[in-house]
Structure 1
Amino acid sequence: MIINRYDPDALHEAFGIDMSSVEGLGVGAGWGRVAPGRSSDSHHHDETELFVVVAGSGEFVAGTERYAAEPGTVALFEPFESHVLHNTGTTDLVFLTQYWRDAERAMASARSTARKSFG
């Protein structure tokens, strides 16, 4: 069994917010924190990425669509899907993220015209 707990002292800047790594899970994973009034950088990548919000409130933005982000929310972004996480609350928005490469899923997403993107 692997146990990892959120540790704000382990965070460092990445994607315009504070992030840390969770090692040994077999997939990429990390804790993230978005300060009140802040947002992650808009970005996309070839991995599938899953977010689980554990504290705070805000919104996920994918393309032109906005979705509430509050404790208990799970959001999955397909490969190459542009995304941002905004903190619209007054306390830190804390989340756990997992990400992994799946070549078949990435190719399907790259070919799709339905994928959400900015611009």
Structure 2
Amino acid sequence: MTHALNLTLPLKQDRASKDMLRGLAENFANTVQPEIERALKESRIVHFARVLVIDDKYIQVITEYEGDHQEYTEFFRDKLTPVFAAIFALAEEAPDVNDTNKFWDYAKKHNVHSLGMAT
């Protein structure tokens, strides 16, 4: 069954965090995106994925995937630990990405459900 991930994280608003966000955005295509693409190919369960920032207030990771949500989350937490560490460093109240249970709880809490009956 196809599932949606709409991970929506509130961003810290201090100057240092905004500078880090700008750095992430500037380097995303050359450094972060290739890592994500490798993990996506290895997973073989993701139909599409994108990362976007809304008004410097939220960062979103949006995907459609097959399979169990917790297994999916753990696969990408493990394969993309440095990527999620960079993203979580910008997010309010984010846990250490190396803490599997807290990562799962945080990701589950910030997965915004789509409108309607769709995934």
TM-score of the aligned structures, taking structure 2 as reference length: 0.27
TM-score of the aligned structures, taking structure 1 as reference length: 0.27
The structure richer in strand per residue is 1
* Greater relative contact order (CA < 8 Å, ≥ 6 in sequence): 2
The structure richer in helix per residue is 2
